Structure 1
Amino acid sequence: MLGNNSSKVRYSKAELRSPDFELPSRERAPDAIKFKLFNWLLLPYEAGKERIIKLSCNMCVKSYKMKWPLNTTTLKNHVHNRHLNTIVRLQNEALESDDPMTGSILESSLVINSEPTPTLEDYRGVVSAPILADASLKASSRSRPVHAYFQINEYKQKVLRFIIANGLPFIVLDSPTFGDLVKYLKEDLPETVNRHTIKNDLYRLFYKEMRWLKRRIAENQSRFALTMDEWNSSNNYDFLAITLHFYNNSFELETYNIGFEYLNEFTSYTGETLFKILGETLEDYGLTNRIISITRDNAGPMNSCMSFFADSMSLKGVEFSGDVRCVGHVFNLAIEALLYYTFFRVKRTKKFEASLTEIAEIHPGLGDLALSMKTLPVTVRSIISGIRHNHFLKNSFAKLADKKKSARGVRCGPEVLVRDNETRWLSTFKMIDRFLYFKDEIKDLLRAASARSRSDDLDLECCDISEREWQYLGSLRDILAAFRGPTIKLQASSYSTINRTTPCVLRLLKDIEGHQSEDLESSNPYLAMGISKASEKILEYYPVWDESIEKMKDLFLATVLDPRYKLSFFRDVGLTNAQIDQIERYFYQVFDRYSEEYHKEADEEPEEIVPQKRRREAIDVDLSDDGEDYFLRRDEEAIEHEVDNYLKQPRADCRSPIEFYKDRKATYPIISRIAKDYLAMSAMSAPSESLFSQVGDMVTKKRNRLSPFTIKILALLKSRGKLPDETVLVDEASNVMEDSLAAMEAPLGTRAHQENGGIETERDTQSDVTAAP
């Protein structure tokens, strides 16, 4: 038995009074921490005093403040007296494992010792006993835990988890068949377990989680970043999702959904309505003056909301410059412009038609090209649909796909074509990419189809694609692929992305503009115009080349704070000296604000603060004793400014910028604070949008009578991992990125199309996609 782990980690008095003192890892922590029964938090440093540790129970609101070494007996007694069922559950889980005595609670100081210390044989049963044929006798050979008794509260928790995990309506608890089932298992079950009491338990769980999160936020010293987006449920409810992001005092990224607010109670939700909802949510969590950025979409009401928010901060004397446009939405707008001019998307505005007319007048000899480009998307989709609906085509294509895999010597790989969803650009990329992958097979299939005497039954509008058209599809695929990489990098929520936004935007502009040429302008002016419009749309939201950095200053600063980039990056990519000087000045301005806060928190008097100087200064000193006046000039002992020190150091080859600052808190005490705040900003609103698919799984046709408040509770608890989900029984790790991108691309209320026949959905084809850190 390991006993008290904390006794194995010893510190000197000097270490316990040091500002650099850190808590040991969870593996070396006391058992109550190791098994996640308590959370611990190191409270702010006080000069000359031993560090105080706050321990908060994960199952109730109880908390303690202790010095090292911790009083583990107090923690153990609290768990045994208040949460015995949790200890019993952990012991039962350990007993059911293959190796119950390795790393489990059974070898800890928390084990219930109402009997003599058990051995491995006691847990496994009599290992030398002969194998029993009867399964029930096998099960009974295990020793049952002493405290394994029925508890009504634990039963209610399991019922709640069962209802939520399987997407069932609460009314199922009042059905006669469910009552017969549970009565069969336990005849004396109390009648109090019904849909009303279970929903009340759900509400209590929600308010408990709210209290815990508010404490968590209050304990954190940093500023907070937000992501926001709107969503429409299947029962036509509109919601505003608000997600909180911050690096905690231990430089660990934390993300919580703090709002899923019902919008239909308003006749129409304007920017002022969204601002009111946002303000009430922030006030509820004590975040009103602590927001450093809001990442959001480009909708008109959201634009107005941000104006109201910035004005309200200004009235309070707080400058707010963290209005961050979701890069996913911006990329989507740019790609739409490209797809309009390649006719994979339909646009019928007068302005667009006038643009096409102008191109035709400038290039009168390219009428056939325009016709070919307009019919090609129809041809591609027609071939895919034809293979899906016609048995001859479907079976022939399946054989050709198997032959391709055999020729390549692989057992797995693409097997079917993918039809796009016209609201999702990534699905169009996948459609074209897969179409090109099976180029030879499609050409063989079209030749075979044209040779059939009843080819009109094959439901193909066109049975031929020219080599020029294949080359054009390849060029379009390559341009769309340039957007895919940055989108994957910037959609992550488990690490900082804002620092990469400017580099990714600049790289994307370079990649897509690399497809532009005078030859393209003359040979395919429609594609050239699409590329030009896509670039213009990106620069509209990210004016990286503007002489004034006002709209980009926070994004630029986030990049400078990445030690792998610094200011040198901007020189490398060609920003002007005037732009770089503005970025550097803004860095110093932000530093000065944080420096003032830092010293104020340390309770230093202003006159006692030795100012950090950016350069060495000469000063006059002393007079001689004999009265002869003369001045000696010497250099004041230099106190190097943190920003100067940081910028003059070579760019660091580090894996994570936040780890860089965590390891250098003593070297950069103020810049590390700036980095914690600015690197918490999100490049995309994907963290808020990822919640939509989870809620969509819960708000089904069977559960369309859920109230908006219940939907909110389910959404927030589900997002924090407090509710289970058994409706998806496959590994969805490869689909996380696609779900978030789908939410960004699709209009409100749009759901991805479902698998049908031989055409798989775009989501089902994403096993090759993972987010790179």
Structure 2
Amino acid sequence: MTENIITDEVVVLVDESINSNATRQTKSVQLKVKKERKKRSRAWNHFRSFVDEERNKKSMCKHCGADYFADSGKNGTTSMLTHMLTCPKMPRIVDKNQTQIGFKTAQGGDTDDVVVVSWKFEQEQCRRALCRMVIVDELPFKFVEKEGFRNFMKVTQPHFKIPSRTTVTRDCFKLFDAEKQKLKRSFGEAQQRVSLTTDTWTSLQRINYMCITAHWIDKEWMMHKRIINFCQVSSHRGEDMANEISKCLRDWGLDKNFTITVDNASSNDVTVKELSKIFTKRGTNFMNGEHLHVRCMAHILNLVVQDGLKVSAASIERVRKAVKYIRLSPARCKRFHECAEDVDINCKKSLCLDVSTRWNSTYLMLNRAIEFENVFSSYVDRDIGLLHYLQFVEDEDGTAAGALSSDDWNNVKKVADFLQIFYDLTREVSGSQYVTSNLHFLKICEVSCYLKKLIVSEDDTDDLLGKIAKNMREKFDKYWGTPNKMNKMIFISCVLDPRHKFVSVGFALQMMFGKEKGLVLEHEVRGYMDLMFGEYVKSLSKDKDSHHSSFLSSSSFEKFSSLPSSSDSTVQSIGSLGSFMVDLMKHKAGNATIVKTELQKYLGEENEVETKNFNILSWWKINSPRFPILAEMARNVLAISISSVASECAFSTGGRILDSFRSSLTPKLVQTLVCLQDWIRSESRHVSVEEDIDVLEQDLANTSILDD
């Protein structure tokens, strides 16, 4: 007889053989370990099995410690599943495959406006979101392995398997490739020219990087800016920079380039010349690159202001030394705040000290010091050391600043008001999410007239500002003193603004260069405008697949088509009388009324009224069916960025420095993170960060970040 005794752990096989004589009995006992079957119930995610003292199989809740009988043959898992519904310490149980209902803030609405949406957990989607968070918030990759983050995810989404830092890095590269392909497809579909800006950065290891940004206006007349490369460069030689830019453009398939905006480094002149040669060889250099080189207006303004502040202004130096003295000691800062409370001044603000490469920090320093003017007078009574420091401690040039007086405060107020004009102007022209090219020439003219006014009034009213203006004018004339130093696009972009056209351009030219010369220059600009319009007519006529081809009527071409070629068929049909017919055609053309071109119609209409909320891109979107060729011109010209840097860098003459985290990464990873951050932020950025730079600068002043 064979008997099988089965348990969860062992199988006991007893084989008894008894012979007929019952004289011989054998027993063999064989123990076999049974393979433990897999627990499939979801209850075991929250319970662990054990055997009690009486050898009963049980399970214990991992959260509250409650235990239940758990013999698979007798009890099952029903009691455990029931407990999971009532356990007070059980985390929220969600089937990751179950679609759920959630709430989401309505797009474009208030924060209180929510809509009901369906939601389902997806591991890959969560990984992508984690990757984007690391990129946008500039988090180190080891963040995902930190204990705090893991505990947070355990509570909020236990189903999410947190990837390692290596996996997140790989996810970043995958996301970069996917987003790059998406952006390349959009460039290919648009088939339009893009304008570029370049800027240089340096890591803490002294590795040089070049940032290349593309600017364009799409078919829906929306302004776009994307960083298309952040690459390591071996040197700042113009030829090397040009080759890197050319290589980048080939990689992106961008063969139609309109302008490139760079700062005033001499190597950039070589860079643009080399690029022009490359584009000419490819046959894509529009109008032989006459307007390819655009100088960064923000950089020139910065140089102009810096030269103005080189004038030795004793009043500014006294304020600077007074601020420095107080900030050198925590005890002095505390005493200064006590004085502020005594005279009812908001002591939550603190003094800020300027730095040599950021003239806007001088503006912020003076503005803040002016708010505390009465506090300085009170402080001197409590700390005689300030007076001694001003009168006797010498600067690097061996002179002492001297005590602060009422005249000094009057002077710094004038300088602060003066600097505010250029502070606001720099912010305005440094935006990248709105059109700035139409402002270029008018703002240059505005600065010119203002400096001229200060210089003329120097002997009569204000000697300090007059001297500053003289120094600034010298630098101003170096870059904008004559029309041939300016890119012709700064005039064309103003003409393509329906509020200005040639009315504003002609007036501004006369204000800058005098009436007689201004009229001559206006005539030259009109000629260049006609020439450029003709180039667009020819370019669009060749592209028969372009959606503009249906708009290219005979009136668009009339001014730019050659008369003899239009009468070739007539000449051939009448043989020897052809010369007479040519003369006849010329005579008829001379006496007929020529149909106006788009350009003539546009310039002939009244200017749009200047309003606060006027949107130049919306105007061209509405009127593009009326002026299809001019609209294509405007799409390219208005996309030009007149600043090569964002406004948070526009006030500085120093180079841009990568932070310590990015400096520690490989160049390939740096490029991936910088580009992806720009692309991701651009997707949801309705208002440019640059437009809020005044808030950022105010925060700098409030928190006293502008250190010695």
Per the alignment, do residues 303 and 703 of structure 1 end up closer, same or farther by CA in structure 2, a change over 3 Å counting? closer
Amino acid at match of 1:446: V
Structure 1 residue matching 2:258: 3-state secondary structure: strand
Q: Which amino acid aligns with 1:483?
A: F
Shift of 1:493: 1.4
Contact in 1 for aligned 2:351/2:365 (Cα 8 Å) = yes
What residue in structure 1 maps to residue 606 of structure 2?
650
Query: Structure 1 stretch 161-170 or stretch 424-433: which is displaced more?
Result: 161-170
- Alpha-carbon shift at residue 298 of structure 1 (Å): 1.2
What is the SS of the residue equivalent to 2:454?
A: coil
2:397 paired residue number: none
Q: How far does residue 313 in structure 1 lie from its aligned partner after superposition?
A: 2.6
Residue number in structure 2 paired with 1:594: 536
Return the match for 2:167 from 192, 197, 209. Answer: 197
Structure 2 unaligned residues grouped into runs of 5+: 1-94, 394-400, 564-583
Aligned with 1:482 (options 416, 421, 425): 421
Count of residues in correspondence between the two structures: 563
Q: CA deviation at 1:639?
A: 1.8
Aligned to 1:707: 666
Alpha-carbon displacement from aligned partner over 1:190-230 (angstroms, at most 9, x marks no partner): 79x32332221111100000000000111114311111100
**2:376 aligned residue (434, 437, 442):** 442
State the AA in 2 paired with 1:686.
V
CA contact (8 A) 1:235 1:699 kept: no
What stretches of structure 1 of length at least 5 have no aligned partner? 1-84, 112-144, 344-372, 407-411, 619-630, 726-730, 743-751, 764-773
Q: Distance in 1 between matches of 2:553 and 2:703?
A: 73
Match of 1:234 among 201, 204, 216: 204
Contact between 2:195 and 2:639, CA under 8 Å: does it hold in 1? Answer: yes
Distance in 2 separating the partners of 1:226 and 1:86 = 47
Residue equivalent to 1:92:
102
AA aligned opposite 2:274: F
Counterpart CA distance in 2 for 1:538 and 1:642 is: 36
* SS of match in other structure, 1:567: helix
2:470 paired residue among 532, 542, 545:
532
1:491/1:674 Cα in 2 relative to 1: closer, same or farther (>3 Å)? Answer: same
Distance 1:401 1:733, change over 3 A: farther
Matches for 1:306-317 after TM superposition, within 5 Å:
306-317=272-283
Q: Tell me how far apart the structure 1 counterparts of residues 624 and 96 of structure 2 sit (CA, whole Å).
A: 38
Tell me which amino acid in the other structure corresponds to 2:476. Answer: I
Written as runs of structure 1 = structure 2, the 5 A alignment for 1:53-72 is: none
Corresponding position of 2:127: 156
Please give the alpha-carbon distance, in whole angstroms, between the structure 1 residues aligned to 2:207 and 2:96.
Answer: 38
> Is the alpha carbon distance of 1:534 and 1:688 closer, same or farther for their aligned partners in structure 2, counting shifts above 3 Å?
closer
Q: Tell me the amino acid that sits aligned with residue 648 of structure 1.
A: G
Residue 493 of structure 2 corresponds to residue 558 of structure 1: yes
Distance 1:657 1:175, change over 3 A: closer
- CA change 1:87–1:154 in 2 (3 A) is same
Following TM superposition, by how much is the alpha carbon of 1:656 offset from its aligned partner in structure 2, in angstroms?
2.2
- The question of 1:512 aligning with 2:451 is answered yes
| CA distance in 2 between partners of 1:702 and 1:523 (Å) | 49
Q: Which amino acid aligns with 1:170?
A: F
TM-score, with structure 1 as normaliser = 0.63
If the length of structure 2 is used for normalisation, what is the TM-score?
0.68
- Tell me which protein shows more strand as a share of its residues: 2
SS at match of 2:416: helix
Query: Secondary structure of the equivalent of 1:245?
Result: strand
Deviations 1:483-516 (A, max 9, x none): 1232122111121101101111111121233222
Deviates further, 633-642 or 275-284: 633-642
| Displacement after TM superposition at 1:333 (Å) | 0.8
- Counterpart AA for 1:271: G
Superposed CA RMSD: 4.7
Question: Matches of residues 86-485 of structure 1 in structure 2 within 5 Å?
Answer: 92-94=102-104, 104=115, 106=117, 148-149=120-121, 151-161=122-132, 163-164=134-135, 167-171=138-142, 173=144, 193-263=163-233, 266=234, 268-288=235-255, 290-317=256-283, 318=285, 319-320=288-289, 321-342=291-312, 373=314, 376-390=315-329, 393-402=332-341, 415-450=349-384, 461=393, 464-485=403-424
Q: Which residue of structure 1 lines up, in the alignment, with residue 28 of structure 2? A: none
Structure with max Cα Rg:
2
Q: Which residue of 1 aligns with 2:503?
A: 568
SS of aligned partner of 2:168: helix
CA gap of 1:471–1:697, structure 2 versus 1, over 3 A, is closer
Q: Distance in 1 between matches of 2:641 and 2:489?
A: 12
Specify the SS of the correspondent of 1:667. Answer: coil
**Any conservation in 2 of the 1:242–1:259 contact (CA below 8 Å)?**
yes
Kindly state the Cα deviation for residue 101 of structure 1 after the two structures are TM-superposed.
12
Answering whether residue 622 of structure 2 is matched by residue 663 of structure 1, we say: yes
Question: Which residue identity is paired with 2:422?
Answer: F
Equivalence for 1:578 = 520
1:710 maps to amino acid: L
Change in 2 beyond 3 A, CA 1:88/1:296: farther
Q: Distance in 2 between matches of 1:741 and 1:542?
A: 29
> For each residue in 1:227-263, what CA deviation from the matched residue of structure 2 results, as whole angstroms up to 9, or x when unmatched?
1100113343321111111110111111111011112
Matched AA of 2:337: A
- 1:542 pairs with 2:480: yes
Q: Deviations over 1:534-560 (max 9, x none)?
A: 1222232224x44xx473311111111
